[in-house]
Amino acid sequence: MIEAVTGRKSDPSLRKQLLRLVRQLARGDCAIHHAADGEARLAGAEERLYPQAVIAEARSLGLVHLSGGRIAASAEASAFLRRALVAGGEAFSEQHGEVVAATAEVEGVRQPVRRNLQESPLGAVARLKDRDGRAFLPAEAVEAGERLLADFTRAQLQPRVTASWEPRLSSRAKGHAGGQAEIADSAIAARDRFSRAMDAMGPELSGVAVDVCCFSKGLETVERERQWPARSAKLMLRVALLALARHYAPPQSPPRRRSHHWGAEDYRPAL
């Protein structure tokens, strides 16, 4: 974890002691006393012993400064702790999830991203294999499901589970929860894309795609709610997402052959 923060390797026990030291000093400076066996005693709100190597490492990184027999955290210590927290969160997700490298379209540009396949039911389906050992869901089908979720989120279509304390506006049409004038242009465009995606999949397939990709329902939940046979939801989802992928990236038709003749430039056939 500290390697990701400092960019250099160190002993695991030293890394743990270094984080403990910076966290203690973040709560206030301490008096420092050199003890036997190459250790230093910090006396403050709590008293702890640290190896001299930890103090030297903290000073070399610019995380602490000593003055008049006291040790205090430097201005860089808080940023160091924030980076360590982020690095620790990534390590936890890699340990308890299945993180893979992928690419995604962000603001119209393809960028490398890190995807945790265990974060959503769609990721769980993406891990499945067919009889030949290939991925049950092709990459374009997974990307189509994530794109559908992105438009669903941008369109603000998530149902509200809490009361809205926003004041009612006089411009709001009577009988409507909100007029289009109150929705950002990006949300309106996302709603249009989402509606066209629903039409492309059709009413028979769009429901399972929305349940899994947008509402994060598991396949067993979908089968129970729709009274489908066991292990049928994943097949319906695969067909739906493949149809959605063709909608997002339709296959290009072969170029039409042009007719040729041997006449002059102003040649006209005789009828």
CB atoms within 10 A of CB 241: 28
Count of beta carbons in the 10 Å neighbourhood of residue 85: 13
Say what the pTM is: 0.49
Residue in 241, 264, 28 with CA at minimum distance from that of residue 126? 241
Per-residue model confidence (pLDDT) at position 269: 67
Q: Is the dihedral of CA 191, 193, 196, 198 positive or negative?
A: negative
- 34-38, 83-87, 196-200 — which is least confidently predicted? 83-87
**Residue 26 pLDDT grade (very low, low, confident, very high; cuts 50, 70, 90):** confident
Where does the chain show beta strands of DSSP type E? 30-34, 39-43, 47-51, 64-67, 70-73, 99-106, 109-116
Q: What is the mean pLDDT of the chain?
A: 76
Return all residues near 20 (Cβ < 8 A) that are at least 6 apart: 48, 50
User: Token digits for 221?
Assistant: 């939940």
Summarize the confidence of residues 101-109 as an average pLDDT.
51
Percent of the chain residues past pLDDT 70, beyond the cut: 66
The pLDDT of residue 173 is above 50: no
Q: Contact at 8 Å (CB) between 187 and 90?
A: no
Residue 112 has pLDDT above 60, yes or no: no
Mean pLDDT of the 61-88 span? 81
